[in-house]
C-alpha cells in the first residue's frame, strides 16, 4: 500500500509518499480500499504545526475517504465486505488502504459517485453541525458565510437552501459569478469595507447567523454584524496561516487579535457565540452519525451536490495542499490513489 506522511513542519514538500505493507484490520475494524480521500484546511494547519490535536510527527493526515470494504476483522459484520462506503478516518486518510472501526462508516448509495462521497464527511458534517445543531437555522433567516466558495462554504450554502434561508457569501471577485449560480449574494472578501456591504444588503439590520473560519479580527467584525438574536459560529482560523510556510509571528499576531466575548455583553446584545471543531467530536457518534446519514441521504436525493475543484494523484498531495492554500480553489480538493490529475469545475 501507499500512504502520504507529514514528515516535518513546513511547506507542502514535507508531504512524502511511502510504500508500506498492506495492513489487516484488527478486531472490531474493517478495511476500506480507498477510491478518493478528501483534503481539508485542518490538514494544512497540522502540516504547519498549528493544529494542536495533530499526532506526533511523522504522521499520515486525512479525515475522510470513500471506497469499498475488502476485509472485515473479528467482531465486524461480514456483510460489510464488498459494500461501497463513505468514512471518517480520524487521521490516516491519505492512503490507498485504511483500517477503522465502523462507527462513522456509512454505506454509499448507488446513485452517489465515489468522488462525491469523499467530499461529504468533513465539509458537510461541519456545516450541518453549525447550522442545525448549534445555530438552528430557520427559513427566512439571513446567513453570512465566509469563504462561501470553499468546501465548507458550498456545503453551508446548499444546506441553507434546503431550509429556505438567504445567503450572503464572501469570496474573491473571481468567484462571484460561481456564487451567483448558487443563488448567493457575493461580496468581496479582501476589502476593508465588506461589513458595510453586508449592512447595505440587509438594510442595516444585520444577519441572523455568521459562519466564520477566518479568525483574528474577522470574528469581531462578524459579531458586530449580528442582528438581535444573532449567532456567530467560529470554525477555523485560516488567518493564522497566510502562506505556505510556517509563520509563527503571523500566527501569534492572529491569536492576539482574537476577540474575547464577555457574558454580560452577550446578554445585553442578545447575541450568541459558539465554536465547532469537528475533530473534537469524532467520539460523539450518537451525535454525528444521524447527521452523517442525513447528509448522505441528501446527496442521494440530489439535494446537496459537492463541487469538486480538482483531483490529484495520492503522490501529488503536496500540490493539493499548495492549491488549497492558494485560495484559488472552488469547492473540494481530492486525492485519488492511482488516479489521474483532473480538473472538474470549469471556471
Exposure on the CB side of residue 27, measured as CA atoms within 13 A:
2
Other beta carbons within 10 Å of 331: 22
Helix (H) or strand (E) holding 275: strand 272-275
Kindly list the structural domains of the chain, giving each domain's residue range(s) and its CATH number in brackets, ordered by start.
Answer: 2-119+306-343 (3.90.180.10), 124-278 (3.40.50.720)
pLDDT, position 247: 63
pLDDT, position 342: 43
- Residue pair 274/211 in contact (Cβ under 8 Å)? The answer is no
- Global pTM reads 0.91
pLDDT, position 242: 61
Three cell numbers, residue 183 = 443563488
Angle at CA 221, nearest 5°, toward 218 and 222? 80
Three cell numbers, residue 74 = 473479528
pLDDT, position 24: 97
Residue 63 region by backbone torsions, left for phi larger than 0, else alpha for psi between -120 and 50, else beta:
alpha
Helix (H) or strand (E) holding 291: helix 285-300
pLDDT, position 165: 98
pLDDT, position 4: 98
DSSP secondary structure of 174-243: GGHHHHHHTT-EEEESSSTTHHHHHHHHTTTS-EEEEEE---THHHHHHHHTEEEEEEEEE---GGG--S
Distances (CA, A) of 16 to 13, 59, 94, 257, 316: 7, 10, 11, 34, 9
Question: Mean pLDDT, 10 residues at a time, over the chain (347 residues)?
Answer: 96 96 97 98 90 92 97 97 96 97 96 98 97 98 96 97 98 96 94 94 98 92 97 84 63 73 94 94 94 97 96 97 91 85 41
Strands (E) across 75-181 are located at 84-88, 97-100, 105-107, 142-145, 166-171
Question: DSSP letter at 321?
Answer: H
Question: DSSP letter at 287?
Answer: H
pLDDT, position 243: 61
pLDDT, position 219: 94
pLDDT, position 240: 64
Amino acid at each position: 500500500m501507499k500512504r502520504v506522511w507529514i514528515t516535518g513542519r513546513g511547506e507542502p514538500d514535507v508531504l512524502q509518499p511511502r510504500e508500506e505493507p498492506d495492513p489487516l484490520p484488527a478486531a472490531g475494524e474493517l478495511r476500506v480500499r480507498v477510491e478518493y480521500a478528501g483534503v481539508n484546511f485542518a490538514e494544512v494547519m497540522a502540516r504547519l504545526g498549528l493544529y494542536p490535536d495533530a499526532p506526533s510527527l511523522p504522521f499520515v493526515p486525512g479525515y475522510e475517504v470513500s471506497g469499498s470494504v475488502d476485509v472485515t476483522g473479528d467482531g465486524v459484520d461480514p456483510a460489510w465486505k464488498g459494500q461501497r462506503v463513505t468514512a471518517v478516518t480520524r487521521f490516516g486518510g491519505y492512503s490507498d488502504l485504511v483500517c477503522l472501526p465502523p462507527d462513522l462508516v456509512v454505506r454509499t448509495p448507488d446513485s452517489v459517485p465515489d468522488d462525491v462521497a469523499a467530499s461529504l464527511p468533513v465539509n458537510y458534517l461541519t456545516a450541518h453541525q453549525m447550522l442545525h445543531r448549534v445555530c438552528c437555522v430557520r427559513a427566512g433567516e439571513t446567513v453570512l458565510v465566509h469563504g462561501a466558495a470553499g468546501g465548507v462554504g458550498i456545503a453551508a450554502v446548499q444546506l441553507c437552501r434546503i431550509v429556505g434561508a438567504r445567503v450572503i457569501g464572501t469570496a474573491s471577485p473571481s468567484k462571484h459569478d460561481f456564487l451567483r449560480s448558487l443563488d448567493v449574494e457575493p461580496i468581496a472578501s479582501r476589502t476593508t469595507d465588506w461589513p458595510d456591504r453586508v449592512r447595505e444588503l440587509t438594510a442595516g439590520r444585520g444577519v441572523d447567523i455568521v459562519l466564520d473560519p477566518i479568525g483574528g479580527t474577522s470574528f469581531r467584525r462578524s459579531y458586530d454584524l449580528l442582528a438581535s438574536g444573532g449567532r456567530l459560529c467560529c470554525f477555523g482560523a485560516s488567518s493564522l496561516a497566510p502562506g505556505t510556510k510556517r509563520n509563527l509571528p503571523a500566527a501569534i499576531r492572529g491569536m492576539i487579535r482574537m476577540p474575547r466575548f464577555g457574558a454580560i455583553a452577550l446578554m445585553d446584545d442578545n447575541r450568541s457565540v459558539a465554536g465547532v471543531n469537528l475533530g473534537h467530536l469524532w467520539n460523539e457518534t450518537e451525535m454525528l452519525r444521524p447527521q452523517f446519514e442525513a447528509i448522505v441521504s441528501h446527496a442521494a436525493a440530489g439535494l446537496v451536490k459537492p463541487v469538486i475543484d480538482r483531483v490529484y494523484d495520492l503522490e501529488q498531495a503536496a500540490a493539493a495542499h499548495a492549491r488549497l492554500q492558494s485560495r484559488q480553489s472552488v469547492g473540494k480538493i481530492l486525492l485519488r490513489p492511482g488516479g489521474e490529475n483532473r480538473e472538474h469545475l470549469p471556471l
